[in-house]
């Protein structure tokens, strides 16, 4: 893929539309890495009610107390409207930054509110961090597979992603060591390790506690920063939490957090906890991107944390997701043809499935949608074209009945694919 290639010729664009964009020769070179996922292309069909979508990662918000939330929002405007509807600082609302420190303490992090920068979801944090650290051609190391939105940010800044392997215990330290040695031998600058230690998106695995110190040590030895992305950390199905990497090496870890999965994704409130010097640059980068995160939304989150039993609400979310995870795992066990394997998540939203050789999940997707089930095919979660025998199934949103039906339909499509 190079900059000269028009965006319409890239993977995921609509075919036959390449002459329609009069701006083709105006786009910046960095837009060459911006591609739509196959599921985006199929979105209109996949979101029809008769299709069971196991593709998206939308949190299930049905358990939120909407009545009391709407009362609180009205109160907020009545009591504090002139602040809530006004610009704020790029750093974020101070009270919320203090509350965020209490949230992070649940995973062993001692952070100072000054070192927290509130962002428009952790997606903005990813964008900011990449913007701060990556020049075109710099290497970012990420698990393979990795979060598609992070890969999008890395591509937007023309960073080169090198994937490292995971097993059931998460990132394999030896593969990190090897990737760093290889980059060094090639004279490449590795800017950071991007990792999702808990309830990985899309792999569904969690980094074993025994590996955490080792991974931090390897990064230290190689002078590589760690970017820890942890939106699912409080969604362990047994209520278990793991020590954040940030809690173990505060000076070398930039931590990304979010209220999207523990409260409401549509409010778009997340945060970055960064080492002090990095934080100052982050505030400047955030200011140039958005001036400030939405004051109203920050105050809504702040009130919610102060006045609701938010931990009880997270427990309810966890129980809902656990029920859905159970439905998916038992349906996979019951229906998927021999030769398929999958991960068994202890939290979060996703199961990662590997299908037998000869089946291409990307090519199969259109047939699956025709059979009224959608998933996210594996190649979108790699920067290097790998993943054609993998797919991500999300159990977060559909009801357990729909999940069972979706897996049954998927098994039928796989079986006919394997007969070919």
Binding site for ligand PMP (CB under 6 A): 57, 121-123, 147, 149, 196, 201, 229, 231, 258, 260, 265, 270
Residue 38 or 229: the one with the smaller Cβ distance to ligand PMP is 229
From the CB of 90, what's the least distance to ligand PMP, in Å? 17
Residue 321 or 413: the one with the smaller Cβ distance to ligand PMP is 321
Residue 27 or 237: the one with the smaller Cβ distance to ligand PMP is 237
Q: What is the residue whose two structure tokens read 């952070």?
A: 111
Tokens of 369: 């949608």
From the CB of 10, what's the least distance to ligand PMP, in Å? 23
Residue 111 or 270: the one with the smaller Cβ distance to ligand PMP is 270
Residue 149 or 337: the one with the smaller Cβ distance to ligand PMP is 149
From the CB of 380, what's the least distance to ligand PMP, in Å? 13
From the CB of 174, what's the least distance to ligand PMP, in Å? 24
Give the CB-nearest residue to ligand PMP.
Answer: 121
From the CB of 232, what's the least distance to ligand PMP, in Å? 7
Residue 258 or 390: the one with the smaller Cβ distance to ligand PMP is 258
From the CB of 228, what's the least distance to ligand PMP, in Å? 11
Residue 265 or 390: the one with the smaller Cβ distance to ligand PMP is 265
From the CB of 260, what's the least distance to ligand PMP, in Å? 3
């Amino acid at each position: 893929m190079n900059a000269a290639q028009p965006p319409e010729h890239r993977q995921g664009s609509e075919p036959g539309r390449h002459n329609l964009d009069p701006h083709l020769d105006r786009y910046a070179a960095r837009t060459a890495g911006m591609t739509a996922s196959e599921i985006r292309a199929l979105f209109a069909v996949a979101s029809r009610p008769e299709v069971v979508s196991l593709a998206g990662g939308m949190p299930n918000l049905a358990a939120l107390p909407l009545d009391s939330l709407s009362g609180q929002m009205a109160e907020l405007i009545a009591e504090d409207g002139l602040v809530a509807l006004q610009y704020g600082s790029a750093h974020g609302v101070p009270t919320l930054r203090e509350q965020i420190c209490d949230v992070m303490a649940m995973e062993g992090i001692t952070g100072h509110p000054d070192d927290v920068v509130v962002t428009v979801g952790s997606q903005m944090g990813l964008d900011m961090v990449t913007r701060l650290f990556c020049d075109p051609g710099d290497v970012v190391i990420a698990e393979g597979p990795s979060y598609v939105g992070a890969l999008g940010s890395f591509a937007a800044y023309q960073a080169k992603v090198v994937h490292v392997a995971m097993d059931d215990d998460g990132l394999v330290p030896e593969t990190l060591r090897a990737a760093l040695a290889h980059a060094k031998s090639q004279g490449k600058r590795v800017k950071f390790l991007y990792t999702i230690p808990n309830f990985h998106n899309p792999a569904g695995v969690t980094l074993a506690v025994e590996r955490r110190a080792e991974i931090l040590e390897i990064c230290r030895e190689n002078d590589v920063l760690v970017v820890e992305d942890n939106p699912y950390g409080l969604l362990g199905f047994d209520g278990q939490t793991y020590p954040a990497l940030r809690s173990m090496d505060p000076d070398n870890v930039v931590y990304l957090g979010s209220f999207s999965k523990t409260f409401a994704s549509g409010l778009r409130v997340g945060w970055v906890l960064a080492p002090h010097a990095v934080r100052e640059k982050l505030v400047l980068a955030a200011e140039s991107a958005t001036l400030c995160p939405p004051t109203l939304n920050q105050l809504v989150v702040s009130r919610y944390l102060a006045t609701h039993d938010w931990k009880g609400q997270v427990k309810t979310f966890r129980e809902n997701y656990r029920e859905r995870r159970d439905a998916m795992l038992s349906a996979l066990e019951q229906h998927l043809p021999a030769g398929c394997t999958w991960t068994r998540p202890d939290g979060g939203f996703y199961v990662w499935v590997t299908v037998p050789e000869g089946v291409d999940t990307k090519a199969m997707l259109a047939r699956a949608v025709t059979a009224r089930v959608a998933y996210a095919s594996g190649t979108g979660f790699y920067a290097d074209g790998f993943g054609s025998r993998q797919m991500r199934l999300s159990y977060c949103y559909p009801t357990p009945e729909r999940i069972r039906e979706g897996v049954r339909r998927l098994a039928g499509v796989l079986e006919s694919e394997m007969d070919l």
